[in-house]
A and B are shown apart, each in its own frame.
Chain A
Amino acid sequence: MTNRAAVFRKRNPLTIQAQVIWALIIREIMTRYGRHNIGFLWLFVEPMLFTLGITTLWTIAGFHHGSNLPITAFALTGYSTVLLWRNMPTRCVGAIAPNSSLMYHRNVRVLDIFLSRIALEAIGATMSFVTLGLLFNFLGLMDMPENPLLVVQGWLLTAWFGGSLAMLLGSLSEKSELVEKLWHPAAYLLFPLSGAAYLVDALPPAAQSAALWLPMVNGVEMVRDGYFGSKIVAHYSVFYVASCNMVLTLFALALERAVSRDFVPE
C-alpha cells in the first residue's frame, strides 16, 4: 500500500459502468453457482435441461403443432425464446432489496443491477440455444438455420423485449409488491400463448392477428423463419416488435430513474 496522494482523474462514465456491470455479473455468478461441482456452467446447463425436458416430453407425447417440422427443432426454437424473455423479468423483479447494500458504492446504480442480471440471463439462454442447436445438428435431429442472420435478428429483438420488460417490472416491483405476486402467474399463463407451442400459420385467421399482438410471438416466428423458413409460413412484424420494445424501454428507463432517485439503502 503506497501513501502517495491519490491523483483525482475523472474516469470515463461508460468505462466505469462497464466495469461495474462486469463486477456485478461475476458476483452474481459466484453467488448463484459458486465454485461447487460444475460452477458457472450451470448458467447454461440449467436452461439446457429445461429445453431438453420439454423437447423430450413433446416428442414422447407426439405433440401436434400443425406442421411437419421435426418436433426437436420446433421445441428448441420455441422453448429457448421463452427462456430468453421470461427469465429476465423473473430475475429483475425484487432484485434491488437483496442488493441494497451495494448502493453504498456510489458507482453502483439500480440500473447496473438490472443490466447485469439481464446480461447474465441473455448469456445463459443464448449459450444454451446455440449449444443445443449444434448438438441436435450433430445428432442429425435438426438442420442448421437456413438464414442465420434472421435467427440472430429474431433472437436480439426477443432479448430486447425481455430486457425492457425486466427493467420495467423490476422498477415497478420496488413501488408495489403486487408486481412480484402477479408476474409469476402471468409468466406461467403467457407460456402457452407465447408461440412456443404453436405456429401462427396453424391458427384460425382471427386468432392469428390476435396472437401477433404479443411481441414474443413475433420473435419466435422470426427465429423459426430463420431456422426453417422454406418449410413454414412465418408471420411477424419487425416494426411492431421494435415499436413495442421502444415504448417499453422508454417507460422502463423513466421508472428506473424515479426508483433510483428515491432509493434509500438500509
Chain B
Amino acid sequence: MIELRNVRKTYEARSGPVDVLRGVDLHVARGDKLGIVGRNGAGKSTLIRLISGIERQSSGTIEREMRISWPLAFTGAFQGALTGIDNIRFICRIYDREFEDVIGFVEEFSQLGRFLKEPVKIYSSGMRARLAFAVSLMIDFDCYLIDEVVSVGDARFQSKSHEELFVLRKDRAHILVSHDVYYLRDHCQRAAVLNNGKLHHFDDVEEALLFHQELMAQ
C-alpha cells in the first residue's frame, strides 16, 4: 500500500518558488496498475520521485508499505570507475540481497557477458541501460515505478523486458508515466491526470485520456 495525503512540493528557483504539486492524494494497493498522464512540466516525474523517496515532499504525508523501485528507466546510479559486477554487489548490499542469488539472472538478462567485469564507464548507453534494467529486476520490488516507456535494446531485449515486467510480475503494482496512449491502454487499469499541481483520478483509462486531451486542447 502507498498512501499520499495532501502532498505538496515547492522548489526554490532563482526566479522565486515554483509550486509543482499543490496537494496530491493518491492510494495505490498491491497489484494496482496506475497510469499517470499530464502535459510536459506538469510534475509527473516529481511525483514519481516523491513516491520512490528520492526527494522529500515539502508538506503532507507519504506512507509506504511496499518495497518501491527507483524510477525504472534511470541509468545513472552506477559508479563509472567500478565494474558492472562491483556495482551489482553494491546494490545487493543496499537492498539486502545475496549477490550469488542474483548474478545468474543479471548475466542472462543483460547479455553483457565479459563486459560485466569491465568498468561501467566504458559501456555504451545501451549497455548501461540493459544493466540498469536487469538490476532493477533483480531486486524483488512490490511496486515498480516506470517513468516513460521502457524502450531499451533491440526487439528481443524489449520483448524479454516486457515479459519480465508485465507478465512475470503482473501481481506487483505498477505506476506508469507516459505520453504513449497505447502503452497506457495496454498496461493500466486506471489512470490519473496531473494538472496544475492537482491529481485527478479516473477509474477508467479512457476517461482519463479524454480529460487529458481536453486539457491539452485548451
Contact = CB atoms under 8 A, between A and B. Distances in A.
Interface of A: 1, 3-6, 8, 11, 16, 19-20, 22-23, 26-27, 30-31, 34, 101-108, 260-266
B82 A19 contact: no
B53 A106 contact: yes
B204 interface: no
Contact of B77 (A11, A34, A101): A101
A5 B170 CA distance: 10
Given A30-B86, A103-B54, A5 B76 contact: no
B94 A20 contact: yes
B105 A1 contact: yes
B90 A23 contact: yes
B162 interface: no
A27 B79 contact: yes
A265 B90 contact: no
Contacts of A264: 11, 55
Interface in B148-186: 168-169, 171-172
A265 B96 contact: no
Nearest to A266: B76
> Nearest 7 A-B pairs (CB), nearest first?
A23-B93, A106-B53, A6-B140, A1-B105, A101-B76, A104-B77, A104-B70
Given A19-B93, A26-B93, A6 B67 contact: yes
Contact of B90 (A1, A27, A261, A263): A27
B137 interface: yes
B82 A265 contact: no
A102 B81 CA distance: 14
Given A104-B77, A265-B54, 13 more contacts: A1-B105, A6-B141, A6-B142, A6-B172, A8-B65, A8-B142, A11-B96, A31-B79, A104-B71, A105-B95, A106-B52, A106-B70, A262-B12
B28 interface: no
A105 B77 CA distance: 8
B42 interface: no
B33 to A, nearest CB: 15
Chain B contact residues: helix, strand, loop or mixed: loop
B199 interface: no
B94 A31 contact: no
Interface of B: 11-12, 52-56, 65-68, 70-71, 74, 76-79, 81-82, 86, 89-91, 93-96, 102, 104-105, 137-138, 140-142, 168-169, 171-172
10 contacts: A1-B102, A1-B105, A8-B67, A16-B96, A23-B90, A104-B77, A106-B52, A107-B94, A264-B11, A265-B54
Nearest to A105: B94
Nearest to B96: A19
A102 B149 CA distance: 23
A4 to B, nearest CB: 8
A43 B105 CA distance: 34
Given A1-B105, A6-B67, A107-B94, A31 B76 contact: no
A19 B52 CA distance: 20
Contacts of B171: 5
A50 B91 CA distance: 34
Nearest to A20: B94
Given A5-B171, A8-B66, A104 B90 contact: no
A103 B76 CA distance: 10
Contacts of B105: 1
Contacts of B104: 1
B181 to A, nearest CB: 28
Contacts of A103: 54
A31 B121 CA distance: 13
B169 to A, nearest CB: 7
Contacts of A22: 93
A93 B95 CA distance: 27
Nearest to B1: A8
Given A23-B90, A106-B68, A3 B169 contact: yes
Contact of A104 (B11, B56, B74, B81): B74
B56 A102 contact: no
A6 B169 CA distance: 10
A19 B77 contact: no
A16 B67 CA distance: 13
A30 B82 contact: yes
B96 A26 contact: no
B63 to A, nearest CB: 12
